[in-house]
A = this chain, B = another copy of it.
């Protein structure tokens, strides 16, 4: 039997060997960064080093970065902590009933770690606007502008959707929030490591990221909070992370996150090129071979830009940063010579296949040696049409055969070509079964 093919890099990326080695060393060294003696201070140095490495990946200052245990914690904390700390003090002392009137905006395609907290805050007296998305999963800056109110405290919109791959126009959206004096948080968990992410260019106040999405281990994540922005802690205790996030640091995982960040930063443009080529090969191949296949999310216009334009002159840093900030689905088109313009995550392919059910397809492909993702990768128990696809206007019937295929650095052209042989056969077999059952 030939080797298994992994098209589920979106759920968890494999650990980079250097990351594993550094984690082992940290495990051996041991030590609690809060201890005053030598072993403790050595642990503290490892923590400082990792903070620098991760901050560098998103162009933040190390002191703007707080380590957490997972993306869910970062997102929960951002929403709860920013909302609570930035409700006017006069209102905070009033009772629950009287606090009503504090406004929060999120999009309809956020991860449950955002949407469920928005719901919880609503129960506690906030009022919440949920912004729609278009057929491609894009939030419209016009919609945000219309939704803003004088008492909007916080806007939270994801940088990229891990399911359909849509990259949102965060730079424009954050500017609209700031115009009205609101804070802007972005869940960048699916984006960091896959596309350039620069907190200064995006001009966000807070940003969530997780190590296991860019070659680091599970159990380490972070929240960037811009210097000067107030946030209340979610976890309280011994006062670690300058009091913002208590709890003994998970040092081996954090060290792994640091090394993974350093590696992710190296050769990102080449990796984007490599992965989007592989993804396009898979996409085009499936599109040709399977009837009744629908590709979701925005089409990626990267290649249009690169082909039509001459090589851009070496842009200075500010220009390049601004360009990154402009990236996203709502941009009207790439600037001339702009080869960094992306509207979809370069490694992501999301399809709906008529006449088959996702669950059967995932299991059938698994049996045939191919691992793919099902709807939201975060919860295999949620056997219902994805809220993201519903928000994009797909019917339950259309959303039924949804599949996420994500390529990674280990993916080869041979993997793609083998998968292009296997997937149509599995689809046909399942369709035959369905037809038989229906008769």
Q: Are B382 and A248 in contact (CB under 8 A)?
A: no
Chain B residues with CB under 8 A of A379: 34, 238-240
Selected A-B contacts with CB under 8 Å, 9 pairs: A36-B362, A36-B366, A37-B366, A69-B219, A70-B235, A95-B97, A112-B239, A250-B250, A250-B253
List 18 additional contacts besides A69-B219, A72-B246, A95-B96; criterion CB under 8 Å: A11-B32, A14-B30, A20-B24, A35-B373, A36-B374, A37-B362, A37-B363, A39-B371, A69-B69, A69-B70, A70-B235, A72-B237, A73-B235, A76-B237, A111-B238, A112-B237, A219-B253, A239-B379
Per the 8 Å Cβ criterion, residues 336-387 of A in contact with B are: 359, 362-363, 365-366, 371-374, 376-382
Q: Are B27 and A236 in contact (CB under 8 A)?
A: no
Q: Are A219 and B252 in contact (CB under 8 A)?
A: yes
Bound together, the chains give a CA A117 to CA B236 distance in angstroms of 7
Q: Are B252 and A217 in contact (CB under 8 A)?
A: yes
Bound together, the chains give a CA A98 to CA B251 distance in angstroms of 43
Bound together, the chains give a CA A210 to CA B237 distance in angstroms of 14
Q: Closest 4 interchain pairs by CB? A: A219-B250, A69-B69, A113-B237, A238-B378
Q: Is A75 an interface residue (CB 8 A)?
A: yes
Copies of this chain per assembly: 2
Interface centre among A4, A96, A247, A362 (most CB of B within 10 A): A247
Q: Chain B nearest CB: distance from A362 CB in Å?
A: 5
Closest-by-CB residue of B relative to A212 is B248
Q: Is A62 an interface residue (CB 8 A)?
A: no
Chain B residues with CB under 8 A of A247: 69-73, 113
Chain B residues with CB under 8 A of A414: none
Q: Are B113 and A32 in contact (CB under 8 A)?
A: no
Per the 8 Å Cβ criterion, residues 24-44 of A in contact with B are: 24, 27-28, 30-32, 34-40
Bound together, the chains give a CA A14 to CA B252 distance in angstroms of 13
Bound together, the chains give a CA A249 to CA B220 distance in angstroms of 10
Q: Are B14 and A35 in contact (CB under 8 A)?
A: no
Q: Chain B nearest CB: distance from A2 CB in Å?
A: 15
Closest-by-CB residue of B relative to A359 is B36
Q: Give the size of the chain A interface in residues (CB under 8 angstroms).
A: 78
Q: Is A218 an interface residue (CB 8 A)?
A: yes
Q: Is A8 an interface residue (CB 8 A)?
A: yes
Q: Are B96 and A218 in contact (CB under 8 A)?
A: no
A24-B24, A37-B366, A37-B372 given as contacts; is B377 within 8 A of A236 (CB)? no
Q: Is A120 an interface residue (CB 8 A)?
A: yes
Q: Chain B nearest CB: distance from A33 CB in Å?
A: 8
Chain B residues with CB under 8 A of A210: 248
Bound together, the chains give a CA A96 to CA B99 distance in angstroms of 10
Bound together, the chains give a CA A116 to CA B248 distance in angstroms of 16
Chain B residues with CB under 8 A of A30: 12, 14-15
Bound together, the chains give a CA A362 to CA B39 distance in angstroms of 12
A95-B95, A235-B76, A371-B38 given as contacts; is B380 within 8 A of A248 (CB)? no
Q: Is A107 an interface residue (CB 8 A)?
A: no
CB-contact partner of A23 in B27, B96, B363, under 8 A: B27
Q: Is A6 an interface residue (CB 8 A)?
A: yes
Interface centre among A96, A218, A380 (most CB of B within 10 A): A218
Q: Chain B nearest CB: distance from A258 CB in Å?
A: 14
Q: Are A32 and B15 in contact (CB under 8 A)?
A: no
Interface centre among A4, A94, A253 (most CB of B within 10 A): A253
Q: Chain B nearest CB: distance from A42 CB in Å?
A: 11
A113-B237, A116-B237, A253-B253 given as contacts; is B20 within 8 A of A248 (CB)? no
Chain B residues with CB under 8 A of A246: 72, 112-113
Q: Are A377 and B120 in contact (CB under 8 A)?
A: no
Q: Are B95 and A248 in contact (CB under 8 A)?
A: no
Bound together, the chains give a CA A376 to CA B246 distance in angstroms of 14
Closest-by-CB residue of B relative to A94 is B96
Q: Are A248 and B97 in contact (CB under 8 A)?
A: no
Q: Chain B nearest CB: distance from A346 CB in Å?
A: 21
Chain B residues with CB under 8 A of A27: 15, 20, 23, 217
Bound together, the chains give a CA A374 to CA B36 distance in angstroms of 8
